[in-house]
Structures are given as C-alpha cells and as structure tokens.
Amino acid sequence: MDAKLEAKLDALPTEPGVYLMKDRRGEIIYVGKAINLRNRVRSYFTRTGDTRAFVSLLDKFLADIETVLVHNEKEALLLENELIKKHKPRFNVLLKDDKQYISLRLDKTQTYPRLEVVRRYEKDGARYFGPYSSASAIRETLRVINRYFHLRTCTDHVLANRKRPCLLHQIGRCPAPCVYPVPPEDYKKSVDEVVLFLEGKAGELVDGLRARMKQASSELKFEEAARIRDQLRAIERSLERQKVATTDFKDQDVFSFHREGDRLLVYVLYVRQGRLNGGQAFPLGSQEFPDEELLPSFVNLYYDQGNFVPEEILLPLDIEEREGLEALLSERKGDRVRVMVPKRGEKRDLVEMAQKNAEQAAIERRRTKDETESVLRRLQERLSLKRMPRRMECFDISHFQGASIVASQVAATEGEIDKSRYRRYRIKTLEKQDDFASMHEVISRRLKRGQEEGDLPDLLVIDGGKGQLASALAAAKDVGVEEVDIISLAKSRDEEVHDRDEESARSPERVFIPGRKDPIVLRQNSAELYLLARLRDEAHRFAITFQQKSMRRGSFTSVLDDVPGVGAARKKLLLRHFGSLKRVREASIEDLVEVLGPTVAERVHAALHGHPEEDDVDPIREASLADAGDLIDEKSEEGSPPGSP
C-alpha cells in the first residue's frame, strides 16, 4: 500500500456513509456502505492471513478511496443503491430491470374488477398476488379462475365501449358486465372468492362454495349446483398442489446463496400466505467482496426494482445494516417489514431449503456452462474461426414492398441471448430496396461504433447467402476491421424434384464463410447449428417486429393527419399531455377537451374510435389503431436497446 492511500485510510471518518473504491484509471470498481466507515474500510487491510479473493485484489486494482457521509444506515442504503445503478462498478451486484417475475393485480375499487398480469408492484391500493415462477404457472392459475369464477378479461376501454357480448359470455365464462346490468354485489362475490383462491385459503373458500351448492340443490337449481360442484373439485385439486411451508400464513421472501470463488448465485424462495409459491435464481459473476456486504446490497437492489415487499424477509447470515434495511423496506411497503436471521424452527428450515435450491441451481448452471463451452469450441473448429465466438451478433434486413427498410441486430453472450446488446437500425442512405447495400450500411455503422467504443464482437452472423456475406465483408474492409469473423447462414429451401411422384425436398441450412466457394453444412440436429439458427431466427423476428411497428405508427399518424385542425404541434401536445399513443386512444372526450378544446376533441375521438354502427369502417386501419398502444415511446434509432426510454 502506498503512503498516500495509507494516509487516506488513517483520515477516514467514523460516521456512517458510503465509500467508493477506484482503480488506477480513476474508474469506480466497488461501492460499499458502512455504519462506521473507518472500521469497515480498514478491515480490508488488517485481516491477518485472510486469503479471500477480495483481499488479494486490492493491491492489484485499488488506487484511491472516496467517502460520502450520511446521517444514518437508511440514507447509506439509498445512496449506495443510487451510486451502484449510476456507475455500475465491476465488483458490485448488478441487477437488470427485466428480472421481475410476473404477478397478478386485482383492483377491488372498480365496480367490475379484472385480473391483470403485471411485472411491477405499485402503491395504488390494488391487491397483488405472486410472483409466479413461470408463464405456465400463471396460465394455469388464470385458466382455473376464468373457467370457474367468471371475472371479465377485457380491458377497461373495451368494457366501456363494447356494444354486444364477447365469445366468453357465449360459452358461459363471463357475465358480460360490458353489456348487461350485472348486479355489482353478485360480481363482488366472485371477486372475493378469487381473492380467497389466490391467497390459498382453502377452508373458507370451500365451505362457502359447499353452502352455495347445497342451497342451489335445495332450490332445485340442479344446473347451478352441478356447476359449483365442478368448481369445487377444480379448486381442491389446485390447492392440494400447493405445499404448506409455515403455519403462521405470512408472506415471506427467503434469501440464500451459493459461492464458488468469485461466482455467486443468490436464490430467492417465495412463500405466500404460508405456502411455497416458487423461487428464482440470480447468478452473479466477479463478486469477490464479502458475503455480508453483497447480500444486503442485493436485497436493496432487488426491492428497488418494484418487486413485491413481503411481511418478512429471511436471510442466511446476520448483516450490519439490518435495522436500516428494515426501515427502508417498511417505508417502501407502507407497513412493517421484518428482516430476520432465523436460527431454528420452520423459518430456519425455509432458509436451508433456499440454500439447497441455490446449490442445485449452481450445479445446473455449471453443467450448462460446460456444455456451452464445448458447443462454442466445436463451432470455432468447424467454421475455422480466429477466436471462440463467445460474443456473437446477427443482422437481418426487413422491408415492406421495398419501403420502410429497417435492420436488426441481436446478440448472444456465451451462447445465451443477450437483449442488452440488441439494436435497431433505420436505413439512411437508400430510398428503395437493396438488401446488399442495406447490409453494407448497417455493418459499416456497427463496426465503426465498435472501433470507437472498443466494443467489437467475436463473430458476426449475417442472415442470407453469398451476396449478403460479400456485402458485410466489404463493409468490414472499408472500415478497417480484420479481427472479427464474419459468416452468413442461409435458410433451407425447396429443391426441384424431377420425378412428379416424389415429395418436394428441402436443402439443409448452409453456412457460408469467406474464401470458400461451397457452403458448410453442419449436422442438422447439432447444437452448433441450433445456436446459429436460433440467433438468425431471433434477428428475423426482431427486424419484422420493428418494421411492422414502424408501419403501424405511420398508420396511426395518418389518422390524425386526416382530422381538421390537428397539425404537428397538436400531435406533440397530445403525446406530451397523455404520455403515449395508447393513452391518447383510451382518452375520453372530456380528457381530450382539456387539451384540444371541444370541437377538435370530438373530431379526434371520432377518428380514433370510429362509429360501430357505420358499415364503412376500414378493418385494416382499425387493427392498426388497436395495436398502436405497443408503440409507447418506442426508440427506433441506432443504439437504442429494446425497452429503453
């Protein structure tokens, strides 16, 4: 340790705060918090005989330490969270925004509530159920609810504007409150039963349904009694599959972890109303710092993403900031939250269960990683690549009848789809269709940006044949990039068959590489071909989706162009006021009047919604308008990943 750094350690304050470790280039490599900054930071340098990775790396990386003082633990947690998200230090726990599991939302303040699938919890007074561990799990739950409890499934906008019942009403799965005067008290009974079902309160729900079945039978309403009987059986089968984990029937999140060197895997076990509800694994790399520091940082970041905060959070080890974390999470939930480290009993059993799941998830991930390494090695050998293709990017061009030309870039890291590196391109130099010139432009732009940012992939995969490959190679040569491998993957196609009695044959998938006339044909069921084909198909999907959304945006805009009194300024005003095209469409005339005035508001509302009684409504335009909500704040320029603001 140099004298300057040692003097800084001696001068560290003893108050609570956040410390930022920097390397020799001045980049922040770790952000930590402490109740006593001097004791925490000096502990890294005074542990005799400590061989853990985070101690040995300090001499190699650490050049400076900065501190920020705060008043208490809670403020330290908040500041640490903000600094981690801002600087993304290499040795901190980093979570992506798309990690939330899906949940169900029920707003009981509405006259006719419905269940919505959501990924974030809001403080809006609604009830949230979940999270659910998979899409299949939530589909099964919704299937039972839709079949036996008969809540509406349509959106609020459809509810307010539908003129006749939908198919679900015709098959007996919705009372159609959109059209018929369904008594709110009858509908509320179904809502209350759904809440009991989602909370796993079998006894109360089953007793109530049995009483209703007997009453219907005594009144000679045998069809109604039979329907309730079938509902009872389905509910009992569903609830039997839910294992009771605790006897106090609380909502709990149980955290545990498994470490292998700098590889850390955190596992979260979900318990809702005393019943196991699934779990989720979070694999994290380059985590050399101590577990008792990383765990509270992970918990803080996890709940900062909008995940449901339960009544109790169970941890496998004690942490210094437990009181501050409790205060912070209680504030986010709006109710008391306890952070506990159980030593015995049911809660300790849950922590051990989470630990076993973390170990198993780590084993599965290690096995998958070894298999992926083998696939990438075989791909490198078979295609004579300069480097192992750990970072791959695939490109595709899409257009509609020669217009609206766009391109997509999708990526894979270590054999897994990496959506953070997806990009979309609008072709800037062409006005008519030319796939080869379009590919040349896109590859040139990508490689130029890669040179400037020091961010080049190992392998570029082009969707197409020899022509597309030649365009990409020419672009790389023009830009001056030689170290990146480039190949193209051509889809299988129908081959001519001269014998009329024979079925039409299809050629295999073909890989074209530079300097070779004939394509390489990988084994059709091999993992190598599957990896390339999956990337190619994803690029095609992403390009088509972007192109279609661009077309729909144009259709939506053209509708407003036809409205007298609505020009570019008023379009911007509408979007600025309502926030998205979807909300403009859902707005009532009264809402539009606040922005446009009564006359223009009526014109806009009529243009966006049409008149169902008229026979000359354009179905294509109507479909475009219905889907326009998908275009909320879409950023389609180069460099904007999907879902970015």
**Residue-wise pLDDT tens digits, 356-378:** 999 998 888 888 888 889 999 99
Helices (H) and strands (E) in the chain — how many of each? 21, 20
Q: What's the mean pLDDT in 176-190?
A: 92
How many angstroms from the chain centroid is the CA of residue 535? 19
User: How sure is the predictor about 49, in pLDDT bands with cuts at 50, 70 and 90?
Assistant: very low
3-state secondary structure of 461: strand
User: How sure is the predictor about 339, in pLDDT bands with cuts at 50, 70 and 90?
Assistant: very high
Q: What's the mean pLDDT in 24-35?
A: 89
Q: What's the mean pLDDT in 624-634?
A: 32
Task: Outline where DSSP puts E strands in 295-438.
Answer: 312-314, 338-340, 391-400, 403-413, 416-417, 423-426
Q: What's the mean pLDDT in 298-307?
A: 87
Same domain (yes/no): 124, 197 = yes
DSSP 8-class letter at 63: -
Report how far residue 218's alpha carbon sits from residue 200's, in angstroms, rounded to the nearest whole number: 29
Same domain (yes/no): 223, 315 = no
More confident residue, 178 or 45: 178
Same domain (yes/no): 70, 120 = no
| pLDDT of 611 higher than 60 | no
457: in domain: yes
1-5, 163-167, 173-177, 509-513: which range is least confident on average?
1-5
User: How sure is the predictor about 566, in pLDDT bands with cuts at 50, 70 and 90?
Assistant: confident
Report how far residue 554's alpha carbon sits from residue 549's, in angstroms, rounded to the nearest whole number: 9
Q: What's the mean pLDDT in 326-337?
A: 91
Strand-pair category, 252-260 with 312-314: parallel
User: How sure is the predictor about 562, in pLDDT bands with cuts at 50, 70 and 90?
Assistant: low
| pLDDT of 630 higher than 50 | no
Report how far residue 481's alpha carbon sits from residue 386's, in angstroms, rounded to the nearest whole number: 13
Same domain (yes/no): 202, 120 = yes
Report how far residue 592's alpha carbon sits from residue 525's, in angstroms, rounded to the nearest whole number: 57
| pLDDT of 621 higher than 50 | no
Q: Tell me which of 175, 208, 240 is where a domain ends.
A: 240
Same domain (yes/no): 227, 256 = no
370: in domain: no
| pLDDT of 498 higher than 80 | no
More confident residue, 161 or 136: 161
329: in domain: yes
**Tokens, residue 397:** 């061009």
* Residue range 511-527, pLDDT digits in tens: 999 999 899 999 878 88
Q: Tell me which of 60, 87, 114 is where a domain ends.
A: 87
Report how far residue 297's alpha carbon sits from residue 266's, in angstroms, rounded to the nearest whole number: 12
User: How sure is the predictor about 620, in pLDDT bands with cuts at 50, 70 and 90?
Assistant: very low
95: in domain: no
**Tokens, residue 133:** 């561990």
| pLDDT of 499 higher than 60 | no
| pLDDT of 198 higher than 60 | yes
Residue with tokens 């008969």: 150
The count of domains in the chain is: 4
Same domain (yes/no): 421, 516 = yes
- Contacts (Cβ under 8 Å, ≥6 apart) of 230: 148
Q: What's the mean pLDDT in 392-410?
A: 84
Same domain (yes/no): 209, 235 = yes
Q: Tell me which of 53, 87, 121 is where a domain ends.
A: 87
| pLDDT of 113 higher than 80 | yes
Q: What's the mean pLDDT in 225-247?
A: 72
Most trustworthy range by pLDDT among 143-152, 269-278, 468-477, 633-642: 468-477
Same domain (yes/no): 418, 488 = yes
Look over the chain and give the mean of its residue pLDDT values, rounded to a whole number: 81
73 CB neighbour count, 10 Å cutoff: 22
Q: What's the mean pLDDT in 113-135?
A: 82
219 CB neighbour count, 10 Å cutoff: 10
Q: What is the pLDDT of residue 51?
A: 44
Q: What is the pLDDT of residue 552?
A: 59
| pLDDT of 196 higher than 90 | no
User: How sure is the predictor about 622, in pLDDT bands with cuts at 50, 70 and 90?
Assistant: very low
555: in domain: no
227: in domain: yes
Q: 439: domain CATH number?
A: 3.30.420.340
Q: What is the pLDDT of residue 152?
A: 92
| pLDDT of 379 higher than 90 | yes
| pLDDT of 556 higher than 70 | no
| pLDDT of 80 higher than 60 | yes
Four-CA torsion 87, 90, 91, 97, nearest 10 degrees: 70
Q: 56: domain CATH number?
A: 3.40.1440.10
631: in domain: no
564: in domain: no
Whole-model pTM: value is: 0.59
In which region does residue 184 sit, left (phi positive, over 0), alpha (psi from -120 to 50) or beta (all else)?
Answer: alpha
Same domain (yes/no): 112, 74 = no
CB 197 within 8 A of CB 235: yes
| pLDDT of 642 higher than 50 | no
In angstroms, the first-to-last Cα distance of the chain is: 43
Same domain (yes/no): 333, 451 = no
Report how far residue 73's alpha carbon sits from residue 67's, in angstroms, rounded to the nearest whole number: 14
More confident residue, 273 or 352: 352
| pLDDT of 623 higher than 60 | no
Same domain (yes/no): 426, 512 = yes
User: How sure is the predictor about 101, in pLDDT bands with cuts at 50, 70 and 90?
Assistant: low
Report how far residue 121's alpha carbon sits from residue 308's, in angstroms, rounded to the nearest whole number: 6
Q: What is the pLDDT of residue 307?
A: 83
Structural domain of 350: 252-363
Q: Which has the closest alpha carbon to 168: 193, 185, 132, 143?
A: 143
Same domain (yes/no): 147, 42 = no
